[in-house]
Structure 1
Amino acid sequence: MKKAMGEKTIFEKLDEELLEFHKYLKRKDLDEEDIGMIFEPLLGEKNRGIGRCFFILMSIFLIFHALIRTEIGWWYILAMSRMFLIKIKPFYDWSYLKNEECMIPKWWEKGVEKNYTPNCNFCENLKNVEVLDQLDGGELEEFYMEVQKPVVFQYEFPTVDHVWSSFFQDDNFLSSFPCSIETNVMENEGNIGKILRKISIFPNFFVHFQNCEYDSMKYFRGVVPTPKFVPDNISPVQYNWLMWSRNYTFPRFKKIELSNSENFKLVGQIEGRATYRLLPPGKCEKICEEVEVTLGKGQVFIFTNFWRLEYSVSGSEEEIEDVGVILEAHSIL
């Protein structure tokens, strides 16, 4: 403590001496320019310190900029970012932000969302889902999408063997990380390659996950393209999901957290069977009933973000593999 006080006294004395020296120079009628030249050595040290800090910051910025311009550097930054997000998830659950377009809450819209009342007339008389062989895009939009009415089509999807071989031959797809996953065989999250290899060694399992990385989503929609009967005003698929189970039976329905920003939802059954349940908006629960539909291989289920989605699979000896996909896109109705 005495030493600290002593150092403070020395600096105070030095400060006083500099002030006295400055006053002395003023009494000698020296102008500010001459006084500045006398104090130049002291100011030079300060300026050199600022210059060194600026040089270090610019060097860090240029190195970072060079890294993101290279494939390996960009991959390394993404990998470190993912690891950081995974590490902080036990302390801060950021997963709900994955579908948000803006990280800053729109406080001026909260009152509008809170007071929003859906049109329950759309669902109050809906008892079941129509199953059609064919329908053109105009009819699909006018008679189903615009009135929030779900519908089922027949469609020939790629075979499950083609889907798996395509997934496992693309390293970029396998190294991508899903932003939402639920499964019974893994506790810690990993990339898609790790997930698929891990669950495939189990005799019975289920998994569903959502892609939200751009390259992964783009590759997925190349493997499982949007059906041709979809209207032209539907944008390219923004988010896609994979649902896979083998010899797995669970009595309860599992919830799928679909994006509210994409109002076109397409569920396709590539292999096996699964039962899907549509739940009406919360404010329509006392007016509208839940709607269930069971999809077989080669069937497509289309609905809008008016509905919430749950699904259930039941494994059997005849159908031990159930594979489904969900494609989410935006439609300008």
Structure 2
Amino acid sequence: MASQVNVISAEQLNQDFQNILDSIKRQNLSNSEIYKLFSPVRWQLFRSTLIKRIKLSILILVCAAVVYYVPLVNWNVSAVGRLLMIQMLPYWNWRPLYKDRCLIQNFKSKAEIQGPSYYNRGPASGDCSVCENIGSIFKLDNVSYDHLNEYHLLRSFPVVISDSHVKWVERPWVNMAQFFERIESLLFSFPCNVQTNLIFNPTRTLKSSDALFGLLDVLSKSESNASWFLHFRNCELKTVKDTRLIIERPYFYASHLEMPYTTWFLVSYNYSIETPKYLKLDGLIIVMQLKNLLKIILSPRGECGRICKELKVELHEGQALVFSTDLWAMEYLPTASNETAVTFISETMQK
């Protein structure tokens, strides 16, 4: 015979509580005695609440782990999330926030701060003492970020790291055609600050997908072209994230630093010129030479141009140049050799 559960009615429960209160009043118990008397009840209530919260936390963690680690569930949850966000558009236009670096509207974005006159500003003459006796760029290897920061970044001393990254032969692409295939998505994301001699007026022309296909076709046959160069900047947040998957972070890049807010690719072949190419850079700059070599000129900015010397360096494959635009502006000469040169540049905000 199945056991029956005794159910107490609300009226009976209220009557029992009232009897307890009457008994306490008759015994004239103090508040401390009442507190001790009901301590087992309080413990049971606390224990019950704690167990419920622990169970709920475990359930949430298990659900989050399933969503994160199970591809099928992850994809479906993402799809549903995107659909919900689309349904919200008539009530809240969240699209401007998607690419914003800061959700607080009162703060200006990086692009707003960098107006036309931004790159023309520079340090005052009183700040030029750090560079007035610099005649060359130091080269280091097996360096820690602490050493780099203490002896170079704080003083705005440019430095070349000789063992910054793996060489070209150790990378997944075998030839230049495979490399351009790997960065194809970056070009089709309509990069900014594009310069090349392969297309006339690339800033306007490359807004067309047909022009991009044409440029990729030319680049895939790069070594059959007599002489060319191309550099472009990845301004979209998505493309900057994609470059992190293509090019690894240097070993000396400290984990507490922000990730780069924009990146560049410089590619050239047999392109001999006299006037160097100027790049508008800002922040902590890391120039990684992936293939062949690159000739770089660092010029002191502002008043320091009259006091400090211009620095020149040949950056070879596997090396990286680290400097700050607080003091230095960068120009480069595309390679004049019959081997394609490839360079990757990252810009990180400095606090």
Question: Which TM-score bucket, shorter chain as reference?
Answer: 0.5 to 0.7
| Distance in 2, Cα, partners of 1:307 & 1:115 | 9
Identity across matched positions, percent: 26
1:255-313 deviation line (CA, Å, top 9, x unaligned): 1111x3xx210001111111101000121111011001101111110000121000113
Aligned equivalents of 1:150, 1:144: Cα separation in 2: 7
CA contact (8 A) 1:250 1:314 kept: no
Q: How does 1:206-221 map to 2 (within 5 A)?
A: 206-221=229-244
The alpha-carbon deviation at position 115 of structure 1 amounts to 9.9
For 1:178, give the aligned amino acid: P
Structure 1 position 162 matched with structure 2 position 172: yes
| Secondary structure of the corresponding residue to residue 313 of structure 2 | strand
SS at match of 1:227: coil
The CA deviation at 1:158 is 5.7
Cα distance between partner residues in 1 of 2:278 and 2:183:
29
Q: Shift in Å at residue 65 of structure 1? A: 3.3
> How far, CA to CA, are the matches of 2:265 and 2:315 in structure 1?
15
Q: Choose which of 124, 134, 145 in structure 2 pairs with 1:117.
A: 124
Shift of 1:252: 2.0
Aligned in 2, Cα 1:300/1:174: closer, same or farther, shift over 3 Å? same
Aligned residues: 234
Equivalent in the alignment of 2:141: 133
Shift of 1:156: 2.7
Q: For residues 49-60 of structure 1, what are the structure 2 equivalents within 5 Å?
A: none
Who is 2:217 aligned against? 197
TM norm structure 2: 0.59
Name the aligned partner's letter for residue 175 of structure 1.
Answer: F
Amino acid at match of 2:232: F
Q: CA contact under 8 A between 2:184 and 2:216: conserved in structure 1?
A: no
Normalised by the length of structure 1, the TM-score is 0.61
Which letter does structure 2 place at the counterpart of 1:222?
Answer: L
- CA-to-aligned-CA distance 1:203-238 (integer Å, 9 cap, x gap): 321011111011111101221122021223321111
Matched, 1:178 2:178: no
CA deviation string 1:187-210 (max 9, x = no partner): 133166654433444332101111
Equivalent-residue separation in structure 2 for 1:114 and 1:264 (angstroms): 16
- The CA RMSD over aligned residues, in Å, is 3.4
Aligned twin of 1:87: none
CA distance in 2, matches of 1:268, 1:115: 25
Residue by residue over 1:90-119, the C-alpha shift from the partner in whole angstroms, topping out at 9 and shown as x without a partner, is: xxxxxxx9952359x8xxxx9xx9796261
| 1:176 counterpart letter in structure 2 | S
> Per-residue deviation at 1:172?
4.3
- Cα separation, partners in 2 of 1:273 and 1:122, compared to 1, 3 Å: same
Cross-structure match for 2:334? 313
Mapping of residues 9-24 of structure 1, within 5 Å: none
> In structure 2, how many angstroms separate the alpha carbons of the residues matched to 1:314 and 1:114?
30
Asked whether the 8 Å contact 2:198–2:215 carries over to 1, the reply is: no
- d(CA) in 2 for partners of 1:130 and 1:116? 22
Q: 1:80-95 alignment to 2 at 5 Å?
A: none
Q: What amino acid does structure 2 have at the position aligned with 1:162? A: P
C-alpha separation in 1, matches of 2:289 and 2:217: 22
Inter-partner Cα distance in structure 1 for 2:287 and 2:130: 21
List runs of 5+ in structure 1 lacking aligned partners: 1-61, 79-96
Partner of residue 240 from structure 1, selected from 253, 263, 281 = 263
> Is the contact made by 2:268 and 2:335 (CA closer than 8 Å) also made in structure 1?
no
Does residue 101 (structure 1) correspond to residue 112 (structure 2)? The answer is yes
- TM-superposed CA distance for 1:314, in Å, is 3.6
Name the counterpart of 1:264. Answer: 284
Q: Label 1:232 to 1:287 Cα distance change in 2 as closer, same or farther (>3 A).
A: same
Give the distance between the partners of 2:319 and 2:123, measured in 1 at CA. 34
